Amino acid sequence: MRPINSKITQIVEETPSIRTFRFDTSLDDAQPGQFVMVWVRGVDEVPMGCSFKNGITVQKVGDATSRLFEMKEGDSVGLRGPFGKGFTLPAKDENILIIAGGVGVAPLGPLADEAASVGAKVTTILGARNASELVFEKRFSEAGGITVTTDDGSAGTCGFVTTVLAEMDVSEYDRICVCGPEIMMFNVLKMLEEKGAHDRAEFSLHRYFKCAIGVCGACCMDHEGLRVCKDGPVLNGSLLLDSEFGNYKRSSSSQRVKV
Amino acid sequence: MVKITGIEFRNPTILASGIMGTTGASLVRMTNSGAGAVVTKSIGPEPKIGHPNPSMVKLDCGFLNAMGLPNPSYADFVNEIKIAKEGADVPVIASIFGGNAEEFVRVAEGLADAKPDAFELNVSCPHAEGYGATIGTDSCMVEAITAAVCDAVDVPVWVKLTPNVTDIKSIGKAAENGGAAAVVAINTLRGMAIDINSGYPILGNRFGGLSGSAVKPVAIKCVYDLYEALDIPVIGVGGVSSWEDAVEMIMAGASAVQIGSAVHEGVEVFADIATGIEQFLQNNGYAGVEDITGLAHEVI
């Protein structure tokens, strides 16, 4: 598909470094965890998890996102998608644990909305560096129970999402859905493996995407050759044990780099 | 079983270069999906990040891409070929590129440790300045580079040709004269797409290469012409997404077919096509692929 010309209708400053951009394009068939390719014309095209059917929530990290942060309401970008496989859709009366770190909230926000709307029970562990970096706290609270953690203790529990997870009985959850920095997700996976719950966990991964449609292989993971852009970006924890996850990834020239 | 350039393939479907060939593990996955052989992504002398995105766009008629030969360099990729060779039970062919004969030889010698079953010379990428088709449109350079690599390695050398030339037969002949064991035809056709809302060319590199079903008739004609002009085998590639496409390509003169963009529909495409070809051969009383290779030349 060609990029859909999409006008920015609203910009919400979530934190000093994270903004939500809403568009006049709504990808109504987007499932929680799927992503769009955002074409910042003349700069680059980058993958972004859909935080709304018509929106993305972005941290300023590189050339494309920096240019995006210079844009105003009324400016436009190109959108392609939704692509990839998202989280398993929650069913009524299921018990879902959401673990979100930093801008990892982006694909998990719509999952919480969807889960609550179908009558699933939602519990969220929401982590950030400090109180000012918390995103979607109200949104997750409206979907169910929430525990906040901050690295510096400026809000909620002082520590990491794993600090809270370590004290939890995860056996009561039908599924555990995770997104955040890879090291955080890796530590969560290890903890869930110890608790025997890794095969009930789903992780939304980040890798360098080139084609984004499952052809070129730039985002393939060792050792199964899974394409993060098409077989993921959401992958079951059992597929990630004994993989490159948490250890290394590939750069834009496909060289291995440490996570 | 198919034998081309002295190498045995369990079936005549081969993963094309540039598709799922970034890592040893992804190559192994393609062999598990039924590919009779796999070709790596094109590897060059130095690490290269490629063109900015968008680098691949699906259009109504096919795919446009301009990856820009991203690769980690031969020094880094040796290990990936070793992984592919250990995990795959089919031939692994190393696609290589360079800006001149010396660079091609350096890359080929650098990868030789990993013992690829053949080399495929990329003199056909349509959108990498100084590489690919820049070289592949010059028959003297094609012959010289092919000869240099053939001298440097002890496995078969295939040469992948560009259709973006006036006469593909003359380039094919140059490869044959240089000592190529086979030619592979075709690489993508130069193409471009423009976003009418902004006027921006969609690909980060502005233009790129067209693949998919749109290019199949072009590929069929090139294979047909090359089969007639050359004594070495022709491996067909371009728009093959079904067993019927593959049989058509083989009847034009291909000894085997490579499959690229069709992986978009699912990695099981190799097994589907191989099974379809086998069934077709059986149903029509043919003993093997060689019975129908170039059939279109014989019936008229």
Q: Nearest CA of chain A to the CA of B171: how many Å?
A: 27
pLDDT score recorded for residue B45? 98
The pLDDT score that the predictor gives to residue A68 is: 98
Residue B94: CATH number of its domain: 3.20.20.70
**pLDDT tens, residue by residue, B263-289:** 999 999 999 999 999 999 999 999 999
User: Rg of chain A's alpha carbons, rounded to an integer?
Assistant: 17
Residue A44 has pLDDT above 90, yes or no: yes
Give the gap in angstroms from C-alpha B262 to the nearest C-alpha of chain A. 8
Name the average pLDDT for chain B.
97
* pLDDT tens digit sequence for B145-155: 999 999 999 99
Q: Is residue B272 part of a domain?
A: yes
Out of A46, A221, A255, the one facing B76 most closely (by C-beta) is: A255
Does B140 qualify as catalytic in the annotation?
no
Instruction: Please compute the mean of the pLDDT values over residues A29-42 and round it to a whole number.
Output: 98
Q: List the one residue out of B6, B31, B55 whose CA is nearest residue B233.
A: B6
DSSP single-letter state for residue A199: G
What are B84-97's pLDDT values in tens digits? Answer: 999 999 999 999 99
Whether residue B199 is contained in a domain is answered as no
pLDDT at residue B1, as a whole number: 87
Quickly state the pLDDT bin for B202 (edges 50, 70, 90): very high
Residue range B8-34: mean pLDDT, rounded:
97
Instruction: Please report the pLDDT score of residue B122 as a whole number.
Output: 97
A105-131 b/e (C-beta count within 10 Å ≥ 16 → b): bbbbbbbbbbbbeeebbbbbbbbbeee
A134 pLDDT above the threshold of 90: yes
Q: How confident is the model at residue B128 (pLDDT cuts 50, 70, 90)?
A: confident
Q: How confident is the model at residue A152 (pLDDT cuts 50, 70, 90)?
A: very high
A71 inside 8 A of chain B by CB: no
Strands B37-39 and B13-15: what pairing?
Answer: parallel
CA A62 to CA A77: how far, in whole Å? 16
pLDDT in tens, B68-84: 999 999 999 999 999 99
Number of structural domains chain B divides into? 1
Residue with tokens 């030349």: B297
Report if residue B238 sits inside a domain.
yes
In total, chain B counts a number of residues equal to 300
Rounded Cα–Cα distance for residues A234 and A240 (Å): 11
Report d(CA B45, CA A255) in Å as an integer.
14
pLDDT band for position B229 (50/70/90)?
Answer: very high
- Name the packing angle between helices B74-87 and B101-112 (round to 10°): 40
Estimate the share of chain B in helix, then strand, then coil, as percent rounded to the nearest 5.
40, 20, 40
Q: What is the mean pLDDT of residues A40-46?
A: 97
- Asked whether residue B208 is assigned to any structural domain, the reply reads no
- Residue B260: give the domain boundaries: 2-50+67-190+213-297
Alpha carbon B208 to chain centroid, angstroms: 16
Phi, psi of A61 (to 5 degrees): -130, -25
Q: Which residue is closest to B59 within chain A, CA to CA?
A: A1
A255 and B23 within 8 Å at the Cβ level: the answer is: no
Q: How much is the mean pLDDT over chain A?
A: 97
Mean pLDDT of A31-37: 98
Record: contact A223-B65, CB cut-off 8 A: no
pLDDT tens for residues A157-204? 999 999 999 999 999 999 999 999 999 999 999 999 999 999 999 999
Domain-located, residue B24: yes
Provide the CA B197 distance to its chain's centre, in angstroms.
35
Tell me the residues of chain A between 107 and 166 that have a Cβ less than 8 Å away from chain B. none
The answer as to whether B61 is a domain residue is no
pLDDT, residue B127, reads 87
The shares of helix, strand and coil residues in chain A, as percent rounded to the nearest 5, are: 25, 35, 40
Q: How far apart are CA B198 and CA B200, in angstroms?
A: 5
What φ, ψ does residue B121 adopt, rounded to 5°? -85, 120
Distance between CA B160 and CA B18 in Å, rounded?
12
Residue B129 has pLDDT above 90, yes or no: no
Token pair in block for residue A72: 């105003």
- Taking the C-alpha atoms of residue A166 and residue B80, their distance in angstroms, rounded to an integer, is 38
Q: Choosing from B125, B140, B150, B222, which is the catalytic residue? A: B125
**Which residue in B22, B39, B45, B170 sits closest to B99, CA to CA?**
B45
Q: Where are the beta strands (DSSP E) in chain A?
A: 4-15, 18-23, 35-40, 44-52, 55-59, 76-83, 95-101, 121-128, 144-150, 157-158, 175-179, 201-204, 220-221, 226-227, 234-236, 248-250, 256-258
CB contact set of B3 (below 8 Å; sequence gap of 6+): B9
Asked whether residue B212 carries a pLDDT value surpassing 90, the answer given is yes
Give the rounded percent of residues in chain B with a pLDDT score beyond 90: 97
**pTM for the full model?**
0.96
**Three-state DSSP class for residue B213:** helix
Q: How far is B20 from chain A (nearest CA, A)?
A: 4
* Residue B206 within a domain: no
**Distance from C-alpha of B166 to C-alpha of B2, rounded to nearest angstrom:** 32
Give the closest of A217, A227, A255 to B21, CB-based.
A217
| pLDDT tens by residue, A67-100 | 999 999 999 999 999 999 999 999 999 999 999 9
Q: Is B250 helix (H, G, I), strand (E, B) or coil?
A: helix
* Residue B134 falls inside a structural domain: yes
- Which of the four pLDDT bands, split at 50, 70 and 90, describes residue A137? very high
Chain B contact for A171 (CB, 8 A cutoff): no
Ligand-binding site membership of B69 (annotated): yes
Is the per-residue pLDDT at A259 higher than 90?
yes
Mean pLDDT of A197-222: 97
What per-residue confidence (pLDDT) applies to B173? 98
